Structure 1
Amino acid sequence: MKRKAEKQQAASSAPVSAFAARKARRQKFQAAVAVAIPVQTELVQEPPSKKARRTPEAAVPTPPFGGETNTRTTRSSKRKTESLKASGTTERKQTTSSAEPSEQLPVRSLPREPENQPSEAEETEEQSPIVGENDVGITPARDDTDGYESPADTAGPVQEFPLSKTRLNKNNIVYSDEHTLCVRIKEKMSIVLLGHYDLWVKRGVVSVMGAKLHPSPRLYRVYAPSTHSLPVIKCVSGVDGAAEIEVKSCHSGIYRLRGLSPLYRRIWNGKNTSADKITLKNAPSSAKRTFSVLYTSADDSLKRHLRPLHLEKQWSSAIKSLSQRGGRLKALICGPKASGKSTFSRYLLNHLLSPAPQTETNYCNTDGVAFLDLDPGQPEFSPMGQISLAHIRSPVFGPPFSHPSLHSSQEGTIIRSHHIGATSPKEDPDHYVLATMDLMDRYRALLASYPQCPLIINYPGWIFGLGLEVATWLIRSLGLSDVVYMSEKGPTEVVVPLSQAAEEAMTPLTILPSQPTDFVSRSSAQLRSMQMQSYFHMTRPTEISNPLWLEKPISRTKPFHVHYAGPKQGIRGIMVMGSQIDPDLLREVLEGAIVAVVAVESPKAILGQNEGPSLSNRHSNDDADANMEDSTDTRMEGITSHDPLNPFIDANVARTPNENLPHLFVGSGSSNPLDPKASRCLGLALVRCIDVSSQRLELVTPIAGSAIRDALEQGHGIVLVRGQLDNPNWAISEDYYAARTEERRHRESIEKLKKNETTSDNEHGVLPAEQEVRVSAMLRDRIRRVSKVPWMTVIEDNSSQQREAVQREKSLWKLRKKAYPGSDSEGDW
């Protein structure tokens, strides 16, 4: 016993590492909090790391609990007490920590709104009559698929964060009305707007999201929702020391999506701010633009955590340095998750597309920029599950869900894309590498027409393990000019292999600090849902250049009827990526799922997969494949889609016994994907129904009919590929939210008529009582019918469950990075 005590005393007096000491202090702190705070309360997340101007109430110190309890415990308790009083959930019991991963269930729980719930003016957004959206239906998941982010337990008090440096007054307001605002911005001053608008630079030079915009007759569409950091319009140089810009309201219809999903609610501008009221003095009292000028985040009527989009100085220097390479630039942007890779890539893209000949250098970009997006989880110009090569001709001002696809020659086009079938390339890295190399070959072919077209490669956050091996292999084989790594914290086991690969390829490696956002209002899974919903509801009329969004639910959209059997067969086969399934289950797997519409260009797409793709033997049969492809192209000339691919596809197709569906399966155990060299993805489609009697599929897709016709005229076969993407729960609940929106509009119109009732109403007449009751009953019946759908449950009880759902919907998401073992970010777990 004495020897054991001596050993323990010696161990306690020995020096410990910083990580062990930090862990011991954290355990001691948690033990102190457990004693001081009752069991019923919840643990509080860390406040934002960014410094902000606090309100006077938040700055008043509170006395400590007593004893040796530190100040951190005191502040944590105060914030928790205030939030509990505000939310009214003091009786809620402690659950598991929000940082722990939890499995998402397929059942959606939608609390029903009471029939006579009053609307709140603070919830008003834009010019739509929809107000008071408190029937929150989609509950945020407790974590993302990779466990890298979790919702904060409470939003905490809203802090006043400075946004605009310019204060509007009669000296800098040129003119204004209910739709337009023209202002002067002095040099090195800035202005921040929330909403969506068209920007016209009249005088001087301004910078927006990395782009330097010079005076021109062109209008730039800007989307600035609260889900992302707000873009800053800054004067770079001006005439007489000031630039002049005009901001005009635009009606793209993207705000209408809030009638179909709560994820799109509370993301645009709310009530008119103090700056808006100054510029709307001569306008009607009901005037409201699609944008609002904000001096600080406290000006927001919806009390959201708004932040401006500013760059680190090292980021700005790196962007200027990379831009000087001009058409010789071929940069790979990589780094851990949530490190700012997409933001940096977007800034670099805009900077390359914006400089004029008379500024900085003599380089003038007339060939556009090639953007190789290798992130299937959060792509920039395509829906999830795809990697693509895009040719961009104009700066992009907005988050990915504002441009989920490209079909305009003025903005840019998708040169080629491939369906990965998952949000992470780790499911099939060999197919991922093959698709990447095919897109690089397409970029080299693009250089023949646009020799001064630079290349930006956005690599996903899959940077550890096999992802690191793929990244280093790409650095050695793509012939890059630069590699940018977005983290100064390492880890060493990632930076060293990247440095060695870059040194072997004689490519400079630039390491930049990460710039993540501490708190966001949407998780990665929710942003993917928003992008998918935007993709299926977006349309591009030929007479206008900007896209439009339609409010019609997917169930009411006219589908495409495609035969999958018989003499008019249009779908040659249906593939299911992943593990092999029983053919009897193909209908259950396909109905209500998101599928990729893939054009098979040659028999090599199927026959070339028998050996299986491999990183080691990728170039072993290049000559044979090239000869085979040349002979196939010769046979395809002048032949319709009924020849010659059908024999090769039909040889691998097995018909299901009950529905006669063409199940295309190649491989053993799992289905081998199509060869990217001989196939391409046209887009995504939602399988709404399988009509066995007529042997047809009902598909809802935004793919242009001309794209499908062109593929068929070139002799390509159409194959549907079912991957492992997120379930389209947003499509299932659209009818319910659309019905709730119609009922709310009807209720508000009745209340408006009653308020405006005067003696003259007897002549014109208001809505008869019988008709009002009949319409209300019809709307309630519609809500009742659409709430009875699979995978969705409407909660009739409007008590604690709905209050908890509302609180979760208003919560913020805190990004946390597991950078490397022993790092501070992992210690937070």
Structure 2
Amino acid sequence: MSAFAALNGSSSGPGVFDDVEVVDDVPGIEEEDQEDLDEQDEQDEVLAYEQFSDEEGAPYMTQATEREVIKTKESPRTPYSQSSALPTKSKFMPDDDNLVICEDHIIVGLKVREFILINGQCKVTIQRGAVKINNIHYYVASPDKPITIISSQSQSLPTISSTQVLDRSVGIKDDVNKENSHLFTSTYKSIVKIENLYTGLENISSYHPPLKRFFHNRAIANDEVLTDYERLFKTYSFEIVLRDSFSPGLYLDKSWINSINSITEKAVSEHNSKVIMVIGNKNSGKSTFAKSLLNNMILSSNSETKVSYLELDPGQSEYSIPYSLSLTCHDKPTIGINISNDIDNNECLRHYYGFTTPQGNPEQYIRIIKALITGYNNSHKPKGYPLIINTPGWIKGLGKEILCTLSKIIEPTCMVLMSSSQDTESPDNVDILSGLTYDDLELVQGTFQTSRYSPAQIRLFNKAAYFHSRSLMCYDFQSTLSAFSPFKISYETEDSDDGFQGVNLTSIINIDEEEIDLSDLPLILEATVMGIYLIEHEQFELIKNKRKRHSSNNSIPFYLSAKDYDDLLNFSSPDFVYLGLCMVHSINVEEEYMNIYIPPHNQEKIRDLVLLQGFKMLLVRGEGEIPNPEYFDRRILSQREEEMRVLKKAKKDGKKNVKISSIPYVTFEAVSKLGGSSKPRKNVLRRGHLR
């Protein structure tokens, strides 16, 4: 996920936020936030992203790549511009007249040039006039068309500003009622209603405390430092940001608006399936620009023409499930973050990649993208859908070679380069564009602004949101998955019947066959995240004879080598259906079944496709790390705290022989620091090590 983009005050010119004062200190929360950041800095992924701003997956570089990085860092470069006046709070002062407070919603009257920053989850309805969201998306009053906003501090916050009605003939429906009638005066230009929206995402802090401010959560704020109006928002699923926040508001400047409108006009009006590919360095604003362009195209066509979106960043993708690459189709704008990435959509194509960077398996990465482009050309392009492609920020060394290959495969009609320089002849731009294939070039001023959450934290959230999804816009973070019974499914072995239904074979990407002792296969697969492929029966028969089995233990699952997986899996064939992800809890070798966790709707798909239609099932593992909170149920900690209170009271009362529970492999006592640090590092690989 790219960093905040195109905020006001860039080098292209001033905007309405130039008079906003930036305050560095936010009373009551700065110390806790600093502790969160300090703790996360210990993680290897953060160190890699900070040290190698241009390289994807830096800890796993080859020696040749390492030398190139050193050379790049020694070369002089033009730094990205940073806005000097970011809108870190609303330009709106609530009072008894312009703010109507109701039980489950509020109504806000906006005067000329006023705007609000929205943090949290809500539904927004324009009741009078028109507004602009993020200074580009134009919405008019329509009481029956609420706008869903899922706003997270992992990104810049949406802004809603008053604006002039451009054309009343387009069907503006002002909604005058008892609650807002006093706002229908010349004083207020726009009126918006903001309603509560609870999806369960607001409870992410109980699942993983370091994400306590990922979504609006006033319960953690100190009441003593809140104003009366700020304290009011503790009862809502959202807040209007009234003081300077760590996450600035998203407000596109004129240069971005002009570029987006120009590309949109060509793509929507000409109906010739334009392909727009967005490239640039890490944190240059690619994802924000691509999403803004997607929203603009949808709104400009009045949802008459859908827009295709190809997400090529497997590590921090917003329109794809973790470890996957996806081609999705959209007819509704996304304001804030996109969370509905695993809902049934017949026009969505996706495949399991298994890694968080293209470097994990470059050949497989390119194969999957070829298949997705073929799917677009065969299904989406004939319908006139334009295509937007968001790329990773790895544009040096091997990353540049992959980018050149992809541009030849995709052949974009418009290449959007997020750059610090608007001169096509600048050394940086010439270096990036050399070897790329495209028709037209659009240079856009890149904006560098790092997120308060690291890539590792965002990846953890994406995986947790996937597995804790219960239905559309409904999540359960009240407990870990271990609090629920897993989905029990048998796996096929040498002794299974011919008509076996269940897991037919397993595979592990990037590990040679001779590196695996099949006796250890259950241990390798347990406690991992794996991809689920369903294979049509006839196609499975072609793969069947490639399966490996243990020489003496017939209770071990069948195994397909990484080479055979690469050779036999046809990503372009409809006979291979990528269902999604599963989390392997455990494998019972004696009774030959697996305990897995999968979202509820995928359980129904397995029953339908496997039990009723005869599809065969393949589980494949890539990196497959389970989110850390799943390893430790916080109820255990709560129980321990209660036991310690009982023990303390017993000692005070002179009681002896009071026992407390003992948990295998878990200690609650403080551990001595080794080398001055008690914080472990995971998956440490030195530069010379190959993945």
TM-score, normalization by structure 1? 0.62
Deviation larger for 523-532 or 547-556: 547-556
Q: Distance in 1 between matches of 2:458 and 2:488?
A: 30
Check whether the contact 2:312–2:392 (CA below 8 A) recurs between aligned residues.
yes
Check whether the contact 2:543–2:568 (CA below 8 A) recurs between aligned residues.
no
The aligned amino acid for 1:218 is K
1:202: Cα distance to partner? 1.8
Aligned pairs for 1:100-249 within 5 A: 139-144=40-45, 147-149=48-50, 162-173=88-99, 175-209=100-134, 210-216=136-142, 217-238=144-165, 242-249=189-196
Name the structure 1 match of 2:533: 598
Match status 1:277 vs 2:204: no
Check whether the contact 1:368–1:393 (CA below 8 A) recurs between aligned residues.
yes
Match for 2:630 among 716, 731, 735? Answer: 731
SS of structure 2 residue aligned to 1:653 = coil
Q: Distance in 2 between matches of 1:470 and 1:266?
A: 36
1:657-687 CA-partner distances (Å, limit 9, x unpaired): 444211112638x965723123342111111
Q: Distance in 1 between matches of 2:191 and 2:201?
A: 28
1:392: Cα distance to partner? 1.6
Match status 1:585 vs 2:520: yes
Change (3 A) 1:329 1:171: farther
Check whether the contact 1:336–1:486 (CA below 8 A) recurs between aligned residues.
yes
Check whether the contact 1:576–1:671 (CA below 8 A) recurs between aligned residues.
no
Q: Distance in 1 between matches of 2:667 and 2:619?
A: 30
Change (3 A) 1:701 1:378: same
SS of structure 2 residue aligned to 1:667 = helix
Q: Distance in 2 between matches of 1:193 and 1:473?
A: 40
Q: Distance in 2 between matches of 1:253 and 1:196?
A: 10
1:418: Cα distance to partner? 0.9
1:788-827 CA-partner distances (Å, limit 9, x unpaired): 45xx76553699999998xx9xxxxxxxxxxxxxxxxxxx
Match status 1:399 vs 2:333: no
Q: Distance in 1 between matches of 2:511 and 2:380?
A: 39
1:279: Cα distance to partner? 9.1
The aligned amino acid for 1:796 is A
Check whether the contact 2:530–2:581 (CA below 8 A) recurs between aligned residues.
yes
Match for 2:297 among 339, 344, 352? Answer: 352
Q: Distance in 1 between matches of 2:355 and 2:409?
A: 25
Q: Distance in 2 between matches of 1:229 and 1:407?
A: 25
1:342: Cα distance to partner? 1.1
1:198: Cα distance to partner? 1.7
Q: Distance in 2 between matches of 1:441 and 1:666?
A: 24
SS of structure 1 residue aligned to 2:563 = coil
Name the structure 1 match of 2:561: 665
Q: Distance in 2 between matches of 1:738 and 1:515?
A: 43
Match status 1:308 vs 2:232: no
Check whether the contact 2:123–2:197 (CA below 8 A) recurs between aligned residues.
yes
1:202-252 CA-partner distances (Å, limit 9, x unpaired): 222223245333323122221223332221112233485611111112221
1:703-761 CA-partner distances (Å, limit 9, x unpaired): 5234334543555321001102445323213x0x344467889999x9xxxxxxxxxxx
Name the structure 2 match of 1:552: 479
Q: Distance in 2 between matches of 1:315 and 1:273?
A: 41
SS of structure 2 residue aligned to 1:655 = coil
Match for 1:563 among 481, 484, 490? Answer: 490
Q: Distance in 1 between matches of 2:23 and 2:282?
A: 33
Match status 1:332 vs 2:332: no
Change (3 A) 1:521 1:491: farther
Match status 1:433 vs 2:366: yes
The aligned amino acid for 1:556 is A
Match status 1:721 vs 2:620: yes
Aligned pairs for 1:263-274 within 5 A: 263-267=210-214, 268-270=216-218, 271=221
1:594: Cα distance to partner? 0.7
Larger radius of gyration: 1
SS of structure 2 residue aligned to 1:661 = coil
Change (3 A) 1:274 1:559: same
Name the structure 2 match of 1:654: 548
Change (3 A) 1:461 1:720: same
The aligned amino acid for 1:536 is F
For structure 2, the residue ranges without an aligned partner over 5 or more in a row are 1-17, 53-84, 166-173, 175-185, 682-691
Deviation larger for 210-219 or 366-375: 210-219
Aligned pairs for 1:334-733 within 5 A: 334-355=279-300, 363-399=301-337, 402-403=339-340, 405-407=341-343, 415-447=348-380, 451-489=383-421, 495-496=429-430, 499=433, 505=438, 507-518=439-450, 520-540=451-471, 546-565=473-492, 566-567=496-497, 568-580=500-512, 581-601=516-536, 643-656=537-550, 657-658=552-553, 659-665=555-561, 667=563, 674-678=569-573, 679-702=576-599, 704-712=602-610, 713=612, 715-733=614-632
Q: Distance in 2 between matches of 1:320 and 1:674?
A: 41
Q: Distance in 2 between matches of 1:747 and 1:249?
A: 39
Check whether the contact 2:519–2:556 (CA below 8 A) recurs between aligned residues.
no
1:311: Cα distance to partner? 2.5
Change (3 A) 1:663 1:305: same
1:84-117 CA-partner distances (Å, limit 9, x unpaired): xx9xxxxxxxxxxxxxxxxxxxxxxxxxxxxxxx
The aligned amino acid for 1:197 is C
1:409-456 CA-partner distances (Å, limit 9, x unpaired): xxx6761111111111223222222211211222233337x7242211
Check whether the contact 1:591–1:688 (CA below 8 A) recurs between aligned residues.
yes
Check whether the contact 1:207–1:234 (CA below 8 A) recurs between aligned residues.
yes
The aligned amino acid for 1:728 is P
Change (3 A) 1:465 1:381: same
Q: Distance in 2 between matches of 1:295 and 1:219?
A: 23
Q: Distance in 2 between matches of 1:491 and 1:662?
A: 56
Q: Distance in 1 between matches of 2:673 and 2:399?
A: 47
Name the structure 2 match of 1:9: none
SS of structure 2 residue aligned to 1:677 = coil
Name the structure 2 match of 1:290: 237
1:148: Cα distance to partner? 2.2
Q: Distance in 2 between matches of 1:213 and 1:745?
A: 53
* Percentage of matched positions with identical amino acids: 22
Check whether the contact 1:464–1:494 (CA below 8 A) recurs between aligned residues.
no
For structure 1, the residue ranges without an aligned partner over 5 or more in a row are 1-49, 59-82, 87-121, 124-130, 152-158, 298-303, 356-362, 602-642, 751-768, 809-829
Deviation larger for 271-280 or 319-328: 271-280
In the alignment of these two chains, the number of paired residues is 576
Q: Distance in 2 between matches of 1:443 and 1:371?
A: 10
1:3-39 CA-partner distances (Å, limit 9, x unpaired): xxxxxxxxxxxxxxxxxxxxxxxxxxxxxxxxxxxxx
1:499: Cα distance to partner? 4.2
The aligned amino acid for 1:677 is S
Check whether the contact 1:572–1:646 (CA below 8 A) recurs between aligned residues.
no
1:527: Cα distance to partner? 0.9
Check whether the contact 1:202–1:246 (CA below 8 A) recurs between aligned residues.
yes
